[in-house]
Amino acid sequence: MSDQRESPPPEPVIVVGAGYVGLVTAAGLAELGHAVWVVDVEDERIQMLRDGRVPITEPGLTEAFQKHCEALHFETKLSDAIRASGARLVFVAVGTPTTRRDDSGGADLEFVDCVVQDLLCESGELALVMKSTVPPGTGNAIRENPAFREKDFAYVSCPEFLMEGEALKGVSNPDRVVIGRQEGCWAAAAVRDIHLALKPVPTIFETDIASAEMIKVVSNVMLAMRVSCANEVANVSEEVGADSSDVMYGVGLDARIGPEFLRPGAGFGGSCFAKDVKSFRAVAVAHDVTVHLPSAVLDSNEAQTERIVAKLQARIGSLETVPVAVLGLAFKPGTDDVRESPALRLATALRSAGAVVQGFDPDPGVRTKVVRHSRLAEPRDWLADREVYPTAQDAMTGVRACVVVTGWSDFASIDWRAAAQAMTGNLVLDCPGILDASRVSAAGLAYEGVGRASPGISQGVLGVG
């Protein structure tokens, strides 16, 4: 793609959905000089944004919103945003969670449908630019809707590949931009122009709409597969006396494989991997295509939680009434997002085994989320107020074992001597492999990682202190 062309002046745009993808997209577009109207049906969220507060933890996002406060506008109705902005492009960044209406595992398109219905009440030169992750086939179905055709609206798929915790980098310097469109679509050219203004200009890959949708979902399936592969390799490594970090490093040196997303741990989490793997499987099933990999990836991920519980049981015995610290509750470090968090999955499994969970997360927002989350999520996705502690030391007080689940760098500086005093047992299980094992051992604690045989165990050092 050439970067020689004069870019047109940035046009006003609308972003529907003030969640992770929407807010980060809005910040990225404002940085490129666009006036951005952010629309969300949640009054409270829009009011917060109007008051200059950003409702999610994402590095640099609050600063970006402050920097571009004059270019950012907030509305609760799409119609108001269209009238106020005169924008042609409506970026859709609403949630598409796994449906709870049936057990298909497909994505729930309720919020997308609402936006489409709102758009159909409007007229003029308008385009729906889909950033939300939708099941392949969705874009063509929207385009074929007679009402959509009658309005002559354009449709472009421009899936988002941002990673929470480093999302702004994902919009300002993406690996690639995928544009799904029909040949000659004016809106696709406009979306391309927006991305051509990025410096450096990213690789822009244009294809048909269904292929763009597939690229998004399959990217997450592939990444989730790699993590599950790393977890299974780690589990086997422990048994054969190999060091899985060396194994995966060596494997990743193969240019065909590469080094990313091969870190084992407590299993993958977040709002996207499991959802998109299930959604891919549901699409396959709906089209009578037999696929084996999605189920294997999901089963492997669930099994990783069971393996951690089994490890604790192997060292401690029954977990009935045994207090266990769970350090790190966000689904990964650098975010306050607890959706599908491996730590919450583990907390549920520990509780089922009779253990008493003592959780902690360094992000102050997480506490509210894991507790407040209970209204929104499956019962397994919550912690009771009493299970969340204000400091890591508090969470470790009186426990027989401490499991680090989320790899926050803060945990590297835990005072292990003080922890050893406070704990009643001596097992420290470091799932993400972020602790300095020698410091933990020097405090008289028994360090165990994921993916390498523990000398402490074979020497029988572990157990109740």
Question: Which residues are designated catalytic?
Answer: 272
Using CB under 6 A as the binding rule, whether residue 268 contacts ligand UGA is answered as yes
Using CB under 6 A as the binding rule, whether residue 328 contacts ligand UGA is answered as no
Give the nearer residue to ligand UGA in terms of CB position, either 263 or 307: 263
For 234-251, the DSSP string reads HHHHHHHT-BHHHHHHHH
Q: Which segments of 173-322 does DSSP mark as H helices, in order?
A: 186-196, 209-240, 244-252, 273-286, 293-316
- Residue 213's closest CA among 298, 119, 291, 142? 142
Residues 6+ apart with CB under 8 A from 257: 251
CB of 115 to ligand UGA, least distance (A): 18
For ligand UGA, the binding residue among 38, 223, 349, 404 (CB under 6 A) is 223
Q: Give the three-class secondary structure for 380.
A: helix
Q: What residues does 427 pair with on adjacent strands?
A: 401, 446
Cβ(442)–Cβ(421) under 8 Å? no
Give the nearer residue to ligand UGA in terms of CB position, either 46 or 234: 234
For ligand UGA, the binding residue among 58, 118, 164, 213 (CB under 6 A) is 164
CB of 271 to ligand UGA, least distance (A): 6
Q: What CA–CA distance (Å, rounded) separates 332 from 341?
A: 8
* Number of chain residues interacting with ligand UGA (CB under 6 A): 20
Contact set for ligand UGA, span 116-155 (CB under 6 A): 133
Give the nearer residue to ligand UGA in terms of CB position, either 155 or 268: 268
For ligand UGA, the binding residue among 148, 153, 273, 382 (CB under 6 A) is 273
- Determine the angle formed by the axes of helices 293-316 and 273-286, rounding to 10 degrees: 140
Give the nearer residue to ligand UGA in terms of CB position, either 220 or 300: 220
For ligand UGA, the binding residue among 10, 232, 261, 356 (CB under 6 A) is 261
Cβ(7)–Cβ(196) under 8 Å? yes
Q: Which stretch binds ligand UGA (CB under 6 A): 37-45, 87-95, 113-121, 261-269?
A: 261-269
Q: Give the three-class secondary structure for 268.
A: coil
Q: Give the three-class secondary structure for 356.
A: strand
Q: Which stretch binds ligand UGA (CB under 6 A): 102-110, 191-199, 220-228, 287-295?
A: 220-228
Residue ranges binding ligand UGA (CB under 6 A)? 133, 160-164, 220, 223, 227, 261-263, 265, 268-270, 272-273, 331-332
